[in-house]
Structure 1
Amino acid sequence: MHRDRVAPILIALLIAAVATPAAAASEALEALRDYYAQVETLQGEFEQTTRDDRGEVVEQSAGTFAIDRPDRFRWSYAEPFPQEIVADGDRLWVYDKALAQVTVRPQGQALGSAPAQLLAGDYAGLEAAFAIEAEADFVRLTPREEGQAFVEARLRFDGERPTALEIDDALGQTTRVALSALQVNEPVDEQRLRFEPPEGVDVYRGRVGQGRP
């Protein structure tokens, strides 16, 4: 190849190498905005894996979820330890079936790390609570205030559908939540978005930050 043709080709390759990550980051941010603009309800299944700071698996769980934006959701852990996290728009309930114990606190106090809490709000609220930064194929959320339940979260999308969340906590652990069998903008059974403590369980007024990530 003639030498005077090499330089333009190299320049084009360099531009492509720079432009591709930038375009992907722009798409990731657009997907986040599309989610909050277009998705009113989201239901599906999840698999959750937590690794310690050495990368070793310390917990695995799975279950189902339902989100009715902007402020109601149910996150149900089916295995290995059944637990229900329910936000009814006023209060946040955490029901540990094995312990026969319910913790409840005002929902407005709960800027927690539960995946549903990140996906159930609105974009304005997300911007107010987090610094938002788009990377090559995900969106990074960093709490604006110190002392929160996690130090960073990353959201991945396929179009306006969230497919995975990764959450880093203050202990150096990373929790990855993979979402599947998604139903978008389908009606959610109202019973899933309400919670009444079962008879015989202990009910406690909890602290901010209690409950599983």
Structure 2
Amino acid sequence: MRMMKRLATVGALMLAPWVTMTAQADQASVDRLTHLLEPLKTYSADFKQQILDASGSSLQDTSGHMWLSRPGHFRWEVNDPYRQLVVSDGDDVTLYDPDLQQVTIQPLDDRVTHTPALLLSGSASQLADNYDVTRQQQGATETFTLVPQANDTLFEQLKLTFYSEKLDALQMTDSTGQRTAIDFDNAETNVSIDPAQFQFDIPEGADVVREQAPAAP
């Protein structure tokens, strides 16, 4: 599951600690997040990703581009400093490591969509069934904190940050305190995206690993 853990390194920009914000919990937070996500049919953006340890020291910096088409279609392409690709066609999630020439294919199921990247490609209306959601706002910046209700997810906390109602950043924290922060730039919403972006042709000679869907608890 090493490659699946790489997928789980989708996160977001932390807000400055001096910012004072009023938190909102309960259904109002879910309704507001649903209001922001439901109109998001497609999304394309450059990203910069940073992984930080529990003390805040930088462990890794990467950059690339993402494409999203709801429901269930997703492409996450890392270009620098090393290539990496995650593609969802709505049925399967394919993870490709060019350096290892390894392809991992796993059915798209509920637990896979608990990874931050694929969460965005799912149904916003199901958030209340899977996450405890709270909201904080400072001016035009709104930050939603999602805590999974299940115990088998790859993160303990996920933050989605919107600026002027546009998705701006993600942040994930895992059980060790490691944080993954991603800023989006040059974002385009609800534009036409070539369906071929969500298809993956297995390279000749690649090692292919097909994983079964996790058993229901």
Q: TM-score if structure 1 supplies the norm length?
A: 0.80
Match of 1:127, SS? helix
**Offset, 1:123:** 1.4
- Which of 96, 100, 111 aligns to 2:113? It is 111
- How far did 1:82 drift? 0.6
The residue number in structure 2 matching 1:184 is 189
Amino acid at match of 2:81: P
Q: 1:208 to 1:54 in 2, by over 3 A?
A: farther
- What amino acid is aligned across from residue 72 of structure 2 in structure 1? D
Matched, 1:194 2:196: no
**Residue of structure 1 equivalent to 2:126:** 125
The CA RMSD measured in Å over matched residues stands at 2.4
CA distance in 2, matches of 1:96, 1:165: 23
Report the equivalent of 2:46.
45
Task: State which of 151, 158, 161 in structure 1 corresponds to 2:156.
Answer: 151
Instruction: Report 1 or 2 for greater relative contact order, CA contacts < 8 Å, sequence distance ≥ 6.
Output: 2
Whether the aligned pair in 2 keeps the contact of 1:151 and 1:168 (CA below 8 Å) is yes
Q: How many residues align?
A: 188
Larger fraction in helix:
1
Q: Does 1:32 align with 2:33?
A: yes
Task: Show the 5 A alignment for 1:13-28.
Answer: 21=22
Query: 1:22/1:143 Cα in 2 relative to 1: closer, same or farther (>3 Å)?
Result: closer
Larger radius of gyration: 1
* Structure 2 unpaired stretches of 5+: 1-20
Q: Look up the equivalent residue of 2:157 and give its one-letter code.
A: E
Q: Which residue matches 2:96?
A: 95
1:69 and 1:120 in contact (8 A); partners too: yes
Q: Percent identity?
A: 28
Q: Name the SS of the counterpart of 1:157 in structure 2.
A: strand
Please state how far the C-alpha of 1:39 moved relative to its aligned partner: 1.3
Tell me how far apart the structure 2 counterparts of residues 122 and 145 of structure 1 sit (CA, whole Å). Answer: 17
Q: Structure 1 residue runs of 4+, over 4 Å off? A: 26-31
> Secondary structure of 2:38's match?
helix
Gaps (5+ residues) in structure 1? 1-19
